[in-house]
Structure 1
Amino acid sequence: MSAPTPPAAPKDPQFPQDQPIPGAAPASAPAAPAKPSKVKKFLGIVALLVAAVAVKFGIAYVFNSPVHAEAGDCVRVTGSENNPEVDTKDCGDKDANYKVVKVVKDTFDVKACTVGEAALAQEWDAEKFVLCLDPVKK
């Protein structure tokens, strides 16, 4: 059984539904979205510039940084003699091609390593050091 439907509201012939009621306040138009102030725009631009500079210099600094290997660590040295790339590796890793014999701090003097050892001068901020390397025996 269904419930009876309520009767439709009677239409007032004096005030059609699509017309405004005389004497009533006019319906307000939807408000336009507020425009951001000039200060907020300026701060947004400054924030983007700071982020861009941080990304440009920060990523290069992190990814092109020298390796802080210690004696006994294994590394993989690739690249040219003038621009070597060094990555630390597990000594059992097939990519490891050198083992750090010693680290000589506060110098770029590659002659600080024993004859027969490869030497790799590195710099990190104000810190400078030489990695003395022996080839990994496989």
Structure 2
Amino acid sequence: MSQLPSLGGLKSSYTPTQIRRNRLIFLGLVLVLVGMVAFYVLGPYDTKDDSATLKAGDCFQNIGTDKEAKTKKLDCTDPHADYKVLKMDEDGVVDTFSCSDVPGTTGSLTQSGPGKWFVVCFKENDEKG
């Protein structure tokens, strides 16, 4: 009976240097993947919303969209401070009722959440630098 020749498959013995190198390559790939996932999830976005902390006289920039506004509170002389708060109605639910009696109002922001409703009445900031 004759034996079949070996197919020359995988090397059965690796040197410690090769094993260490392979582990470092694998670890590097895992770290790159984890970094990409973290960047996607956390992102370079400024997701903090300062709407609940605004009060009359404060200025802000909308860093969200027109449909989903997110405010960033800024100094009124900041060139990015587009709006100035005229009234913060923490009991408000509907902007037309809360802002109808505030002279100079050009816009409003209504926020609702679990147990937290408020309306911010604002105008364009004419103090920005």
Normalising by structure 2, we get a TM-score of 0.52
| Match among 46, 55, 61 for residue 70 of structure 1 | 55
Contact 2:56/2:85 (8 A) holds in 1: yes
Structure 1 or 2, whichever has the larger Rg, is 1
Counterpart residue number, 1:117: 106
- Alpha-carbon deviation of 1:82? 1.5
Counterpart residue number, 2:66: 81
Q: CA RMSD in A?
A: 2.4
Structure 2 CA distance, aligned partners of 1:130 and 1:124? Answer: 12
- Alpha-carbon deviation of 1:67? 3.5
Contact 1:119/1:130 (8 A) holds in 2: yes
Structure 2 CA distance, aligned partners of 1:75 and 1:65? Answer: 9
Normalising by structure 1, we get a TM-score of 0.48
Which consecutive unaligned segments of at least 5 residues does structure 1 have? 1-55, 57-61
SS at match of 1:120: strand
SS at match of 2:72: strand
Instruction: Say if 2:123 is the partner of 1:134.
Output: yes
Instruction: Say if 2:89 is the partner of 1:104.
Output: yes
Equivalent pairs, count: 78
Q: Which has the higher contact order (CA 8 A, sep 6+)?
A: 2
Structure 1 CA distance, aligned partners of 2:51 and 2:112? Answer: 7
Change (3 A) 1:105 1:97: same
Compare the two structures and name the one with the higher helix fraction: 2
- Alpha-carbon deviation of 1:127? 1.9
